[in-house]
Structure 1
Amino acid sequence: MPGRYDRLLTSMTRKLLEKPRRNHRNKATMISAIPLDDIPVTDTSKVTSDVHPFKDIPGPKCYPIIGTLPYYLPGGRFHKMEHNEVSHIMWKQYGYVYKEIITGGKILVHIVDPKDVETVYRNDGKFPVREAFFTLNHYNKKFQANCQGLLTSQMEQWHHLRVNVQKKMLMPKTVAAYIPEHCLVADDLMSRIALSKKEDGKIDDLRHDFTKYAAECIGVVCFNKRLGAFHDDDSESEASQFIKAVNDVMHVSHLEFRQFPLFKLFNTPTFNKLIKSQTFIKQIAIKYSNLALEAAQKRLEAGENVDGEQGDLVPYLMSKTSLSNEQVLVVISEFIFAGVDTTSHHMSFMLYLLGRHPNIQNKLYNEIRTLLPTPDTPITDKAIRNMSYLKAVVRETHRLLPVAPGNIRRTSVDLVLSGYHIPAGTSVALHSDISSRDAREFPDPDAFIPERWVRDNTATKTNHPFAMVPFGFGPRACVGMRFAEQEAQIAVIKILQRYQVKYVGVPLRREASVTYSPANKMAFRFVERL
């Protein structure tokens, strides 16, 4: 079918290669025009002697409209503290459920008990509402004709996107089909390590190289094409600007929880930063989507199968689903920045823990060597699936140093959480990053013990299954979770096959944006295996 993708190429280039225009209307709108969510009303008929009313949920003193903002300003109790530190203090002071008013007058209930987390997830309904990425949602309204992606859409719009995307993204065979290409990316990472390490084997900071690795992997998944991140260190290069844009999007999205939503009234400096970053990411998505469509058309004309397990994601979404070109570009843009962020940080945390625990590292290396006798032995899906200790290391990394702090849901029905009535429509923050370090669930919770997750370990059988949910749960669980874990596992396998790794930097400090990331340089020493 020659020409199958011609229409897609023409229409996408015509409609999407447009620069966003700034909207200068309503600059003089009063602050009072900011919509405030209604405070949930407790149905007193559902409050019994065993269930306490919503108003009795403990929490910090809050002020009208500004809520707990003074705590985070200079001189405030939580000034310059990371979100995980604040949440931990609140949990210790108020218990497993507490509430606060955040900036803008919105009430947010925080829960830590895994039983409550399970209750929220299992009552999500068909269309779970996740409350995050408000700034990105507003950007899409202004500059994408309100075309939202998986991160920013809700209800039927989200469900339509999810159903079309997950057919490809969550199939194990599809994910496994990318192993050979991801191994080639990992080989480039290994070359980078070999060139970067000093005579004593030390590399002062690996964070940027892990980000490049993640960017290259997501390029293969989305476009079946490398982005060239390892081949150009110029700060003005396309790859470097792309990585900066990804970081800026996540940073701006994080700030929305502690600032007034003034971006809804006029383009604030942080919103302008988002515009610049999203515009660049969109240009990257358009450029490489066009290349992917052209390559697919050429293979089709040559009689090749372009619809196999590793069929390119962009042509698949544009030709095999009911998504519009605009929707595909928004979804791909989200995959790019979310995938790079998640994979690179998880890799950093896992290698950090292995570099500080040589006995665990040696045990994992022995498992790798058993299933892959030499570094030249091809990594296969079967080999990865049989690495039970690698899976345990991955899970323990998620528990001890999770990439995601948790989740935020808007309840669709009335619930009872830790003995309090929670009305439908309440925003609830699920702190799995705290429950995963709760001594009630995990003995010696601050220790790195992958054996917790070994199948015959009876200790793990007492853990509540919702004490750790790194990718969420249910219909709105992370759609790219299989790719993120596979990419990180392949990199760790390749590194340990060749090197003994020791962490020689300062103790890890994490900073919170939408996800947790390493805040300090991560120095490692790589010693060649004999």
Structure 2
Amino acid sequence: MQELEEERSWLALGSPGLPTYVLLTTLLAAAMAWLYKKQQKVWLVEQIPGPKALPLIGNSLFFWGGPEVLFKQLYKVTEFGAVARFWLGPNPYCVLSSAKAVESILSSQRHLHKSWDYTLLHPWLGEGLITSAGSKWHSRRKLLTPAFHFKILEDFVDVFTSQTDTLVKRLRAKADGRPFDVFHCITLCALDIICETAMGRRVNAQEDSESEFVKAVHDLSSLIQFRQFRPWLHPDFVFRRTSHGRKHDACIKTIHGLAKQTISMRRKARRAKRFAAQKKAPEEDFGQKTRQAFLDLLLEYSENDSTITNEDILEEVNTFMFAGHDTTTAAMNWFLYVMGTHKEIQTRVQEELDAVFQGSDRPATMADLRELKYLELCLKESLRVFPPVPMIIREVKEEIQINNYRIPAGTSVVIHVYRLHRDPEQFPNPEVFDPDRFLPENCNKRHPYAYVPFSAGPRNCIGQKFAQLEMKVVLSSILRNFRVESDIPWEEMRVHGELILRPKEGNPLKLHPRK
């Protein structure tokens, strides 16, 4: 009888704990399932060739060092094969460096998500066209595409020409046959162009190169790259308590402050213009030509769609400035470098310019730019050898098979553009600068994803026509006025693989006036 009572007491005590046992069992099963899935992901990634990784930190030490070391080490990863892998802490990366492998990602409508690395840009760009994904990206892309119509871009040629005239005057003062770093001059010109076309505001960077805004734009790009390859700085809580984090936040404050001020000013100006237009007779506007900045177009959209907020406008203006400033700066500098190291090719470009302009100092027209066929070939080849954006990173949200390797969901996929453009199967003698590679008869034989300086597929660069037009105007004007010479041999040029591909020691050139 006593034993029965004890058993009843035990059951009475145990019955309230039954839900707890069920909960613990469920949690244990979930943990085991997660661990199994994690182990399976690790196993799949480890089937891909790559450098040996250490526990917890992965290959972080492999990439330890400055931007030059980082760039070299990433290139070494591609030597493991067209599909290779590395780890940053617990995060796996898959590196693609062949046209066939790259096509699997760039041509896909499913793998459009940028990797977590791009979240480091969120404080600057928010969720603009570069960093957004899913339905937000689709709606933004659809909204912004008309803003890059060629007829709209034609109106910007006056800005390109005006700012290039200022650049040429500055270069002429330095063109005494001695080498100087052209990179800084080109940077300021590109910044002036992008601010005037994006915001409709002159920042006069070429006159005031020490301005807080100019410095903030330059510093922020370097800080983001510095943080990207140091996993311990990824958490905001840690980063913001470092000197780098405090400098980063100060740069953001400066850039956003100017952009917000400009948005407010342009809104007021648009209201004043509409009010004045109501009082003005229609014939008073006859013959006047107005040029809308990118910001004006966004403000016009917001006036017709109340869901577009000031924050949305800020995101896209900053995105356009980021994407259109550093990239074109780097591209134009690399073009001038290859002209300075390939004198016979530079001569052919200048002969074409002389034939089109007949010695005139007049500004370039759209018709002139269309005639510069050989300059365009050289520009394309320069973008092949020195792509301004050396890597593109996506995150696959579902498993994908590339070259017989299974890439698990959650893996960051790096498209190594610099290495891709040096694939000898697609570009024989890849280290040779040969503009004829881009003659139609040669392009037709090439894989469509072998050359992607502006990315490709659904997420290709929306501003590539803008960039090409700007570069043609600026570079044609420089070569109309100067003979370019570089003393740095091709094989000795050292590069920084930051967000943008830059020469490590700048771009020292000798300029010789042609007139």
Give the equivalent residue in structure 1 for 2:460. 477
1:521 pairs, out of 502, 506, 510, with: 506
Matched, 1:214 2:190: yes
1:190 pairs, out of 168, 181, 187, with: 168
Question: Distance between the aligned counterparts of 2:447 and 2:86, measured in 1?
Answer: 26
Matched, 1:148 2:127: yes
Question: Distance between the aligned counterparts of 2:329 and 2:470, measured in 1?
Answer: 9
Which 10-residue stretch deviates more, 499-508 or 469-478? 499-508
SS in 1 for 2:117: coil
Matched, 1:223 2:195: no
The answer to whether the 8 A contact 1:505-1:522 is kept is no
- Give the C-alpha shift of residue 80 in structure 1: 6.8
Q: Which has more helix, going by share of residues?
A: 2
- Give the C-alpha shift of residue 203 in structure 1: 4.7
2:337 pairs, out of 330, 352, 356, with: 352
Unmatched tracts of structure 2, length 5 or more: 1-34
Give the equivalent residue in structure 1 for 2:477. 494
- Can you list the C-alpha shifts for 1:239-291, whole angstroms capped at 9, x where unaligned? xx222211222112212332124433241422222211111111121233334
SS in 1 for 2:337: helix
Q: 1:346 to 1:81 in 2, by over 3 A?
A: closer
Question: Distance between the aligned counterparts of 1:79 and 1:519, measured in 2?
Answer: 10
1:99 pairs, out of 85, 89, 92, with: 85
Question: Distance between the aligned counterparts of 1:422 and 1:262, measured in 2?
Answer: 24
- Give the C-alpha shift of residue 57 in structure 1: 1.1
2:293 pairs, out of 312, 327, 341, with: 312
- Can you list the C-alpha shifts for 1:37-75, whole angstroms capped at 9, x where unaligned? x848569xxxxxxxx9554111112123311112234xx
- Can you list the C-alpha shifts for 1:157-183, whole angstroms capped at 9, x where unaligned? 233333222220x31221122112210
- Can you list the C-alpha shifts for 1:306-347, whole angstroms capped at 9, x where unaligned? x98842221221232442111111221222233221111111
Matched, 1:430 2:441: no
1:171 pairs, out of 149, 152, 155, with: 149
Q: 1:381 to 1:83 in 2, by over 3 A?
A: farther
Q: 1:268 to 1:447 in 2, by over 3 A?
A: farther
TM-score normalised by length of structure 1: 0.81
The answer to whether the 8 A contact 1:349-1:397 is kept is yes
Question: Distance between the aligned counterparts of 1:387 and 1:369, measured in 2?
Answer: 11
Question: Distance between the aligned counterparts of 1:476 and 1:308, measured in 2?
Answer: 33
Give the equivalent residue in structure 1 for 2:4. none
Matched, 1:67 2:58: yes
The answer to whether the 8 A contact 2:98-2:423 is kept is no
- Give the C-alpha shift of residue 490 in structure 1: 0.9
- Can you list the C-alpha shifts for 1:214-237, whole angstroms capped at 9, x where unaligned? 01110221123321112224x3xx
After superposition, residues 238-253 of structure 1 pair within 5 angstroms as 238=211, 241-253=212-224
After superposition, residues 5-24 of structure 1 pair within 5 angstroms as none
Give the equivalent residue in structure 2 for 1:259. 230
Matched, 1:85 2:72: yes
- Give the C-alpha shift of residue 526 in structure 1: 2.0
Q: Which has the larger radius of gyration?
A: 2
2:138 pairs, out of 159, 170, 184, with: 159
- Give the C-alpha shift of residue 436 in structure 1: 0.5
Question: Distance between the aligned counterparts of 1:153 and 1:308, measured in 2?
Answer: 35
Matched, 1:112 2:97: yes
- Can you list the C-alpha shifts for 1:81-122, whole angstroms capped at 9, x where unaligned? 533311222222x1111112113x111111111101011112
Q: 1:490 to 1:39 in 2, by over 3 A?
A: farther
Q: 1:518 to 1:221 in 2, by over 3 A?
A: same
Give the equivalent residue in structure 1 for 2:435. 450
The answer to whether the 8 A contact 1:123-1:412 is kept is no
Percentage of identical aligned residues: 25
Give the equivalent residue in structure 2 for 1:23. none
The answer to whether the 8 A contact 1:296-1:312 is kept is no
Q: 1:180 to 1:347 in 2, by over 3 A?
A: same
Question: Distance between the aligned counterparts of 1:39 and 1:310, measured in 2?
Answer: 55
Matched, 1:376 2:378: no
The answer to whether the 8 A contact 1:135-1:263 is kept is no
Give the equivalent residue in structure 1 for 2:11. none
Question: Distance between the aligned counterparts of 1:80 and 1:164, measured in 2?
Answer: 36
- Give the C-alpha shift of residue 155 in structure 1: 1.9
Q: What is the count of residue pairs matched by the alignment?
A: 464
The answer to whether the 8 A contact 1:60-1:100 is kept is yes
Give the equivalent residue in structure 1 for 2:249. 275
Give the equivalent residue in structure 2 for 1:21. none
Please tell me the root mean square deviation across aligned C-alpha atoms, in Å: 2.8
Q: 1:40 to 1:99 in 2, by over 3 A?
A: farther
- Can you list the C-alpha shifts for 1:419-452, whole angstroms capped at 9, x where unaligned? 2122344321111210101212111110111111
Give the equivalent residue in structure 1 for 2:47. 56
Q: 1:356 to 1:195 in 2, by over 3 A?
A: same
